[in-house]
Each structure stands twice: as C-alpha cells, then as structure tokens.
Chains A and B, each alone.
Chain A
C-alpha cells in the first residue's frame, strides 16, 4: 500500500464517530406527500422560479433557472401541484423563496439511459452543458455549481483531477457508502469529469478510516482497467478541504486568494462524481442525494437516499426518531454544518448530513479569558493566528485583520474546536469578513 500522506500544517483530530453509520447500507426514503424546494441550493445567484402557484409539475421538471454565471437550475424530484411559493429559512440562516409541491404519487421519474458508447463521442464542452442542464453542484457542502468548476479557464491547464473521498467531517458516511455501493457508476462519473477538465491524471484521496472503501475502489479500478491512482491519507481534519487535500496529495500550496487550478488541480468529491454519472447516463437531474442521519440523539443512525425537499422531520423519523431530546440539530457535519431551529427545514443538494447532537456531545463549555495557549494557532491549517484576528475584529480593526489574511480563513472550525477558553473564534472571523464586505460595498 502507498505511504499514507496528510497535509503539512495545522489540523485537529475530533472523534470521527463514523462507526455509527459506516456499516449502514443506503436506504431509500419513501416519497413524501409534500416537498419544500428552495430556489437557492447552491453557492452564487439564486435560481429564478419558472413555476407559479397552481402549476402542475412533472417529476424531474425544471422549476427554477440558473440566473447568473455562478448559479444552477433546480428540478423537482416528484410530480404534483405547486401549492404555494413561500419564504423558508435555510440552515445557513437566511430566507429564500421555495416551491411547496403537493406530491402526486402516481407520477414517477423515468430515467432514460444514454449508452456509454454515445457519450464517448461527446466533447468535454457537451458534457459540461449536460451537467449544467441537470443542475449538478458540488455535494460536499458548499454546493458550488459543477459546470463552472469543471470548466477550465482560458490560459490554465489542469494537470490533476483530485477526487475528494476524504469525508473528513465526523459522523458523515454518505460518500463512504456511495464508494461501497455504487463503485462502478462513481468511477464512470470520475471518467466523465476527467474529460471535462482535460486533466491527464486522476488521484483519489481516501482517509485510512475507510479501509473497506479503499479496498473496494482499488479492486474496481483494476477490474475496470482505469488508470486512476488511489492515495490513502492519514486521518486529520480538515483534509477534505480542497486546499488541504491538494497539499496532502501533491505537496502544493494553493496561493492565498487563488484557486486549485492555479497549481494545476481541480478537486471534486464523491457525491458530485456520482451525480455527474447519473446526470449523463440516465439524464437524471440532481434532485436526490445520500444523507447521513446520525448523532447520539437519534435511535437508528442511517444513510438515506432522499429527495430534495424532504423535511428533516421525515428523515429523523426514518432514522427511528429521537432517542433523547437533542440539543442541536445540524445540517451537514458538526465542524462546518449549520444548526437548524425548524424540523421542517428541507433536504437540499448540499445536505450531506442531518445530525441530532446531545448536550454531552456538543461540550459547549463556559467562556473564559483567552490565555494565549496557542492551540488555535497550532490547529489552523491555513497558518493564521486566529486569536490575533479575533482580537483585531473584536476591537473593530477590520482592515488590519484583512492584512493578517483574514480572508484566507475558510471557517473550518479547528480554532474554535480547540479553544479551551471556548471563544467563538469562527463566529468572530465571519463577523470580520461581513464587516469588510459591508465596508467595500
């Protein structure tokens, strides 16, 4: 086996809690009676709705259109009647318009298979436009529109396509299960992305806490005769961040303020590759995904394939309901995920997990003064000084914080996690960035 690698600075080791769901096969969520489909499920401009109240929609129909360069189409997974368009709160804390659809149980999405032979003859451009039509976005959390990411800008050249199979957030196993249960389709999807980006080499990075996935992927790559290489990685958070992953695999530092392509790399994750496969081979828009429902406050943690628009309430019921009163409900992983206050929050394209955490797991703690212990500095994968940035922001010195590379902070949470004084460092960084944005606009 190849030598395990990891990124070179910072990082933390939160308990990974993968065992709760790593052996749970993906189950399918029954179709709900009502869907809540927000028009903004991606990074960038919200999609503009093209349906209105009273419209009848078909399964897989586009209901909102991409409205800018960085934006993505939205499709409905099921047919039915648009009951209303209403504002809903998203986990990230802002409200957007959403279509509420009363589901007609008789209408089912019929996938149309496109032969692999036919797809072979398509150019990268044509593949890109097909995934754009299908509304594919990055499924690791940030939900960056895939057709924008895989389109290599003029004058740049992708050397490596790096596949992010790290899933470094504790609890989550969605990508792990896809690797185990949909290996071939996933690898085919990676092949399509390789053609879109024109990268000559593909490297798949997997952390060593997923030995079954490493074995299964390795075997299938061999049996399919693919030239992808597999890079096992030492477990360390946040290895699933693209900058850290590139550093771990290629030992290249993406420049401050730059993108992976600046060092010749494009990074995408497992869920996205599988969505690309489904979009191209079965003309299936991105309207469902695998979600890990876990946490100490649910009875039967599970990996569930759910339609976009399914509520958290239904997902938690499927996972056996609450075993005890949850303290926090988190959309995503515990490190970068958002808390929700409403169980009717819908599953979206970027919802990798739904976690019900108990108070004991959260370990909130009592705030004390900063004692300059330096744990945040040692933990920061970006080489920043979170405590210094926090103090600058706290005193309103936003420009000075910017000069100390505040904008390189990606809110991975290593600083806040490690802080024994329980200071909300990440929250401080967010405030600082927001104030800088306000000042420049």
Chain B
C-alpha cells in the first residue's frame, strides 16, 4: 500500500457534477457563434471588430472592478459573454466608442455596483444596450446593407422592422400589413426568398419573401440578431445541453405571437386576428432576446411557474412597446422591465415543498 500523505475531508456530497459556471458561459457563447459568424459574414469584418471591442472592454472593466473588490472573477467567463451579447446587439456601422461605452456601463454600473456576478438585478448586456441606445440614437441606427444585397439596393439599409413601423404609422387605416407595405415600397428581397415564395404559391399558399429573408437572416439589422434560424439552432443547443429550460423562451415567443396575431391588425384597420405573426417573430431582436437575453439566469426567476409568468410578461410588454410604442423595437425594454419584477416573482412564487399540504387543497395522502 502506498503511504498516505494527506486526505481531504469535506462535507457531503463527495462528488460533483462536471459543469461549472465557466462552462455554462462557454456553452452560451458557442450557441451564439453561428448567429455571430453569420453577422460577420453578412456585414463584413468591421462587425468582428465591434464584437471584439465589446468583449475586450467588458473583460477589461471586469478585471478592474474585481481587482478593486479584491476578487478574481475573469475565470467565470460571464464578462466575456456580456461583451459578446453587447457586440451582437450593435448595428454593424456603429461608431466604435458606443460598444465600449455600453460595456463599461454594463459591467461597472449594472453588474459591479450591485456586487458583481449573481448580484445584479438587471441583465448587464441589455442595460448597456439601452444606455447607449438612448444616448446615441443616430449611432445606434447605423445600419449596413447585407452582403447579399446588390449595390443597387443600397438606397435604404434601414431594418425591415423599422421601415415597416414608420411607414405603417403614416399610412395607418389603409388596411395594409407590414409585409404588404414593404412590398409596396419595393423593399429589397433576396432572389432565393422570391423563388421560394413562387414555389410555395404553386401549392395555392402564400408566403411573403420578406418572411423568408427575416427567418434566414438576409436583412439589415444588429450584427447578431438577423438570422432567426441560427438563433433558434443556438437555442436548441442550449436546451439540449440543459443550460436553459423551455419555459422562458417558449412562453415569451408564444405570448408575443398570440398577442400580435390577435391585436396587431386592429391598429391598421384590419380587425382582430389578422396580425403579421411571422414578420414580428422573426424580425428585430425577438429571437435573440427570448432565447439568449430573457433566459439570463441571474435576472430571471428560479421556479418554473415564476419563469412562465416572467416569459408571458416579457412577451406582453414586447408586444405593447413594439406595436403601440413609438420605437420599432421593444425587446430590450420589455426584458429590463421584467427583470425588475424578478425578485418579487421569486418571493411570491415558491414551489410547494414535498409533504406540505396547502390548506386550500385536498391532501395528496390517503
């Protein structure tokens, strides 16, 4: 028998699951990679610079803040993820000081002013985005036309969501939809999407090419938000890895979609149950928000029921802001507002412990 040097004494359990905080952050980064790489391809190498700057600024500020607090927290990977999310939320032509400002605000104010990872009550990346969005409105609208468009289409590189929103507001009451409006003004659609729509119509169905473009990500927009498809693939990866659970994304997307379907048409004189569900689900930051931002563990409820309430609330608020508000986008604000309710949700929605019989309900035990 080999001679013993030291034996470790510890409280049970004596074994641990292999997952670590850093691995969770890494998995989220991996899940974001397809959408991010697509954005870089679509909008050019400058997008990579924007992402890299956001990440570097986030990690740098995290290091400084942690040092001030006499901690070392870079290894948990959360700052890098915050930086990546900020980068993906930037328009491709954003002035470079904006992502840096967003990162500094996110890490120093939103995260560390409240005590660092786990103690922040608001999603740092979203708060950073909101901060710069309201500070530099023009800079945050520096869209770029995607590589897939011909140069002749460069007349407008505004996002489909923004174009439709401002356009529809002017022509309200004419019974048009976001999609028909885009088509009316001759908004660019890809040949592939056009061909697909033609093919679909041969079966007697109708599908707008804009919906296909939005789903695949052949439109202008923030670097990481354009391709709903790739974001959904990332979401499936996270679900498979059990990093996130279905409750928040599913209730968020479903409640938002339902509300849009029921009410969106009434605003433009089309009556109830005529909303452009596909257009709204796949445009803007909805998928990025529902799958990657609303599911931020620190700032979302911990119980299943709580998550459902939070998801439905975020979906409803996104609907209200996007459809009735003056801004085209509502995702970030909706999630930030729901972040505020999380401590309350967690306080009042608590799982019933095993063997505790609520007085109102009949006991499970015979």
| Interface residues of A, Cβ cutoff 8 Å to B | 9, 12, 14, 170, 243, 247, 251-258, 262-264, 313, 316-317, 321-322, 324-330, 334-341, 343, 355, 357, 361-366, 368-374, 377-378, 381-385, 387-388, 404-405, 408, 411, 413, 416-422, 424, 426-427, 430
16 A-B interface contacts by CB (under 8 A): A252-B364, A322-B2, A326-B7, A334-B13, A338-B12, A340-B7, A361-B15, A363-B18, A364-B16, A365-B16, A374-B303, A382-B354, A382-B355, A413-B12, A419-B16, A422-B16
- B289-303 interface bits toward A, Cβ cutoff 8 Å, 1 = contact, 0 = none: 000000001101011
Contacts of A374 in B (CB 8 A): 245, 297, 302-303
With a 10 A CB-CB cut-off, give which of B8, B17, B19, B298 has the most chain A CB atoms.
Answer: B17
Contacts of B7 in A (CB 8 A): 326-329, 339-341
Contacts of B352 in A (CB 8 A): 383
With a 10 A CB-CB cut-off, give which of B75, B355, B357 has the most chain A CB atoms.
Answer: B355
The answer, yes or no, to whether B356 is at the interface (CB within 8 Å) is yes
- B132-157 interface bits toward A, Cβ cutoff 8 Å, 1 = contact, 0 = none: 00000000000000000000000000
Known contacts A374-B302, A377-B302; is A253 also within 8 Å of B15 by CB? Answer: no
Contacts of B116 in A (CB 8 A): 369
The 6 closest A-B pairs by CB, nearest first: A413-B13, A369-B118, A427-B11, A321-B1, A368-B21, A369-B117
Assembly CA distance A405 to B75 (angstroms): 34
Known contacts A383-B351, A383-B352, A422-B20; is A371 also within 8 Å of B302 by CB? Answer: no
Q: How large is the interface on B (under 10, 10 to 19, 20 to 34, 35 or more residues)?
A: 35 or more
User: Which residues of B from 74 to 104 have beta carbons under 8 Å from A?
Assistant: 75-76, 78
Q: Look across to chain A and name the residue whose beta carbon is closest to the beta carbon of B3.
A: A325
Known contacts A316-B1, A325-B2; is A243 also within 8 Å of B353 by CB? Answer: no
Assembly CA distance A24 to B129 (angstroms): 61
The answer, yes or no, to whether B23 is at the interface (CB within 8 Å) is yes
Contacts of A368 in B (CB 8 A): 20-22, 73, 75-76, 117
Known contacts A325-B2, A340-B7; is A366 also within 8 Å of B14 by CB? Answer: no
**Contact among A243, A264, A313, A371 for B366, CB-based, below 8 A:** A264
Known contacts A262-B365, A264-B366, A325-B5; is A387 also within 8 Å of B357 by CB? Answer: no
List 18 additional contacts besides A322-B2, A387-B302; criterion CB under 8 Å.
A254-B355, A254-B365, A255-B355, A262-B365, A263-B366, A325-B4, A328-B9, A334-B13, A337-B12, A357-B15, A365-B16, A371-B24, A372-B297, A373-B297, A374-B302, A377-B303, A384-B353, A418-B19
B355:A426 contact, CB within 8 angstroms = no
Shortest distance from the beta carbon of A403 to any chain B beta carbon, whole Å: 11
Q: Look across to chain A and name the residue whose beta carbon is closest to the beta carbon of B306.
A: A374
Assembly CA distance A14 to B166 (angstroms): 55
B15:A334 contact, CB within 8 angstroms = yes
A426:B12 contact, CB within 8 angstroms = yes
The answer, yes or no, to whether B206 is at the interface (CB within 8 Å) is no
Shortest distance from the beta carbon of B63 to any chain A beta carbon, whole Å: 15
The answer, yes or no, to whether B10 is at the interface (CB within 8 Å) is yes
A339:B18 contact, CB within 8 angstroms = no
Assembly CA distance A317 to B4 (angstroms): 13
The answer, yes or no, to whether B200 is at the interface (CB within 8 Å) is no
The answer, yes or no, to whether B326 is at the interface (CB within 8 Å) is no
Q: Look across to chain A and name the residue whose beta carbon is closest to the beta carbon of B8.
A: A328
Contacts of A14 in B (CB 8 A): 15, 17
Contacts of B346 in A (CB 8 A): 388
The answer, yes or no, to whether B119 is at the interface (CB within 8 Å) is yes
Q: Look across to chain A and name the residue whose beta carbon is closest to the beta carbon of B13.
A: A413
Known contacts A369-B76, A377-B303; is A408 also within 8 Å of B355 by CB? Answer: yes
The answer, yes or no, to whether B350 is at the interface (CB within 8 Å) is yes
A373:B17 contact, CB within 8 angstroms = no
Assembly CA distance A421 to B17 (angstroms): 10
Q: Look across to chain B and name the residue whose beta carbon is closest to the beta carbon of A317.
A: B1
Contacts of A424 in B (CB 8 A): 11
Known contacts A371-B297, A377-B303, A420-B19; is A256 also within 8 Å of B355 by CB? Answer: yes
Assembly CA distance A371 to B28 (angstroms): 14
Q: Look across to chain B and name the residue whose beta carbon is closest to the beta carbon of A413.
A: B13
B366:A366 contact, CB within 8 angstroms = no
Assembly CA distance A339 to B7 (angstroms): 8
Q: Look across to chain A and name the residue whose beta carbon is closest to the beta carbon of B24.
A: A420
Contacts of B22 in A (CB 8 A): 368
B1:A373 contact, CB within 8 angstroms = no
Assembly CA distance A343 to B21 (angstroms): 35
Contacts of A316 in B (CB 8 A): 1
Shortest distance from the beta carbon of B11 to any chain A beta carbon, whole Å: 4
Contacts of B353 in A (CB 8 A): 256, 382-384, 405, 408
Q: Look across to chain B and name the residue whose beta carbon is closest to the beta carbon of A369.
A: B118
B15:A363 contact, CB within 8 angstroms = yes
Known contacts A264-B366, A372-B298; is A243 also within 8 Å of B20 by CB? Answer: no
Contacts of B298 in A (CB 8 A): 371-372
B17:A418 contact, CB within 8 angstroms = yes
Contacts of B75 in A (CB 8 A): 366, 368
Contacts of A12 in B (CB 8 A): 17
Contacts of B21 in A (CB 8 A): 368-369, 371, 420-421
Q: Look across to chain B and name the residue whose beta carbon is closest to the beta carbon of A14.
A: B15
Shortest distance from the beta carbon of A431 to any chain B beta carbon, whole Å: 9
Shortest distance from the beta carbon of B85 to any chain A beta carbon, whole Å: 15
Q: Look across to chain A and name the residue whose beta carbon is closest to the beta carbon of B116.
A: A369
B10:A339 contact, CB within 8 angstroms = yes
Contacts of B1 in A (CB 8 A): 313, 316-317, 321-322
Contacts of B366 in A (CB 8 A): 252, 263-264
A334:B14 contact, CB within 8 angstroms = yes
Assembly CA distance A252 to B346 (angstroms): 28
B73:A252 contact, CB within 8 angstroms = no
Contacts of B355 in A (CB 8 A): 243, 253-258, 382, 408
